[in-house]
Every structure is written in C-alpha cells, then in structure tokens.
Amino acid sequence: MALRRVRIDGDPILRKRSKEITKIDDKLEILIQDMIETMRYENGIGLASPQVGILKRLIVIDIGEIPIIAINPVIENAEGKVEDIEGCLSVPNLRGKVDRPERIKVKYTKQNGEEITMDVEGYAARVFCHEIDHLNGILYTDLANTVFDYDPEDDDE
C-alpha cells in the first residue's frame, strides 16, 4: 500500500467525468487499498478516485465499522433535502453549506463483484452524494449556498 497525492481544486482532473470500471483485478485492489490508506492519513471520511488522479468510478467511505468500497456507484432515487456544512480534502481550508438529499437509494458493485442496492439516509447519504459528485467532475463548492474559510486549528476535537 502507498499514500497517493490528493489533487487540489484547480487540478483539471477534478473536473472530468470518470469512466466506468469494467474489470475488478489486482490493479484495482491496489488502488482501493491506497485510497483507504490515503483517506485515513488525511483524516478524511470519503475519497473518490479522481482525487488521487485516477478517472475511474470508484469511491471509498469510512464512517462506520469498516470502509465501504463502491465501484460504479449510481444514485437511483433521492428524497428530501437537508442543508449542512461540508468540507473536502481537495478543497482545503474552506467549508460550505450544501443542500443534499435526506435519503438515497444507491446501487454499486462491491470488491467481490456482488452488485447491491442500499437505502442510505442522513450523514451517510450526504457522504455518498459528495463522493459520487467527484466522479462527475463536481465539487461541493459548485453546489454550496455559502462558502467560508475554515482553519482546522480552530477545531475543538
């Protein structure tokens, strides 16, 4: 496993649409493990492959007991609307208030090739939407109602 460089807003790769993954192989497994390691090193809760310079439809999310690895994720349904604050590893030192669905139905392929459909709500729905946007070349700042400076040194955590 290796740490990958997180691309920062202004890098053109973050504005491109990612390609569907057609083969789950050792090369993809290495990318998955590198993304998980990079996300954790950077204290993130989610990471999309374009953020590490790879235009493939792959996201990793770590907000529970084990990371979720979603290959070719698609939001099939969205309900409700909630505004909350978001940040992003690719947009350091900024935060923004973004409207996201309260509930989504997301379909994706797991590492073992199994396709699943999952109902997700609340914070997890927000994270899925944020990461899937990356696969379509969208940053949260494009959708934000307001954006403001953020200094991680000011966190009480």
Among all residues, which ones are annotated catalytic?
A: 131
The Cβ of residue 122 has, within 10 Å, a number of other Cβ atoms equal to 13
Single out the residue of 49, 24, 2 nearest to residue 111, CA to CA. Answer: 24
Q: How far apart are CA 84 and CA 2, in angstroms?
A: 32
Single out the residue of 92, 123, 147 nearest to residue 131, CA to CA. Answer: 123
Q: Check: CB of residue 6 under 8 Å from CB of residue 42.
A: yes
Q: Which residues pair with 80 in a beta bridge?
A: none
Q: How far apart are CA 64 and CA 68, in angstroms?
A: 9
